């Protein structure tokens, strides 16, 4: 194939990608959320489809247009995202968790809008842990040989934290990127290191999110064959 032409190396494969950021409701009008734009996950879905894969994109609160030929499953909360991923995983050759999943959710949901009361300080918000979807699907593989990829955004000790996280999660690959005020969130570009459970380390230079996505699929395809 000519340079720049995508190789159809994922034909016959089914991949599941999660994207966006979960929102954890406090009441009908408010939520706890995060700054994930969904762009990296959508780039992963687009590039996998271009390489011939059947793609299920579990999209948390993203307003991005659905990529052509991709099956989009919209979700809101971490619990909904978990259900959608677990439903799709048994048929998947690879699962890539690019979504920013809230670690905690409000312990209680108020069915009616929370109101101020004259002269009263607000109640503190109590949080509870959300399920760790990446750790769960890595520990209980829905299919033998399935390749599981996580993403980690770190602000300090990026590589050391990434290695420890890869081990803790039990996934095959972990894409680690450094985040800061102007880095990654909402931007068109990304820079990362992809750590492998086999000890490998693949640096991806600063560039479009598509380029990082292509590297992720290269590494996934290697592990599938």
Residues designated as active site: 34
169 assigned ligand-binding residue: yes
195 binds ligand CTP (CB under 6 A): no
Is 89 in a helix, a strand, or coil?
helix
97 binds ligand CTP (CB under 6 A): yes
59 binds ligand CTP (CB under 6 A): no
**Side-chain half-sphere exposure of 201, counting CA atoms within 13 A:** 7
Least distance from ligand CTP to the Cβ atom of residue 22, Å: 8
Looking at beta carbons only, is 7 or 104 nearer to ligand CTP?
104
151: partner contacted, choices Ca ion, ligand CTP, none (Cβ within 5-8 A by kind)? ligand CTP
Among 17, 60, 95, 99, binds ligand CTP (CB under 6 A): 99
Q: How far is CA 101 from the centre of its chain?
A: 8
90 assigned ligand-binding residue: no
Distance CA 184, CA 158 (A): 14
Pinpoint the alpha helices (H) of the chain. 39-50, 78-88, 133-139, 158-169, 209-224
Is 165 in a helix, a strand, or coil?
helix
Pick from 48, 54, 148, 62: which is nearest to 100 by CA?
62
57 binds ligand CTP (CB under 6 A): no
Least distance from ligand CTP to the Cβ atom of residue 19, Å: 10
133 binds ligand CTP (CB under 6 A): yes
Least distance from Ca ion to the Cβ atom of residue 100, Å: 8
72 phi and psi, to 5 degrees? -100, 130
Q: How far is CA 212 from the centre of its chain?
A: 14
Distance CA 24, CA 125 (A): 12
157 binds Ca ion (CB under 5 A): no
150 binds ligand CTP (CB under 6 A): yes
- Residues of this chain that bind ligand CTP (CB under 6 A): 78, 97, 99, 101, 103, 130, 132-134, 150-153, 165
Binding residues, by number, are: 103, 113, 131-134, 151, 165, 169
- Residues of this chain that bind Ca ion (CB under 5 A): 103
């Amino acid at each position: 194939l000519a340079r720049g032409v995508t190789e159809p190396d994922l034909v016959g494969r089914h991949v599941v990608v999660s994207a966006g950021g979960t929102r954890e409701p406090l009441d009908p009008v408010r939520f706890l959320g995060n700054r994930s734009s969904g762009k990296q996950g959508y780039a992963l879905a687009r590039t996998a489809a271009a390489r011939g894969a059947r793609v299920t994109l579990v999209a948390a609160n993203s307003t991005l247009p659905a990529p052509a030929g991709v099956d989009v499953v919209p979700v809101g909360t971490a619990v909904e995202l978990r259900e959608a991923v677990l439903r799709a995983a048994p048929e998947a050759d690879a699962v890539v968790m690019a979504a920013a999943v809230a670690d905690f959710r409000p312990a209680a949901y108020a069915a009616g809008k929370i109101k101020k009361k004259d002269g009263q300080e607000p109640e503190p918000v109590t949080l509870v842990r959300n399920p760790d979807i990446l750790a769960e699907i890595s520990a209980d593989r829905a299919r033998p040989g399935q390749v599981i990829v996580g993403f980690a955004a770190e602000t300090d000790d990026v590589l050391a934290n990434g290695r420890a996280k890869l081990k803790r999660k039990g996934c095959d690959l972990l894409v680690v990127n450094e985040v800061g005020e102007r880095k990654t969130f909402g931007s068109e570009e990304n820079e990362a290191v992809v750590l492998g459970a086999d000890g490998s380390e693949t640096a991806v230079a600063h560039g479009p999110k598509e380029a990082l996505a292509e590297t992720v699929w290269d590494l996934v395809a290697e592990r599938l064959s």
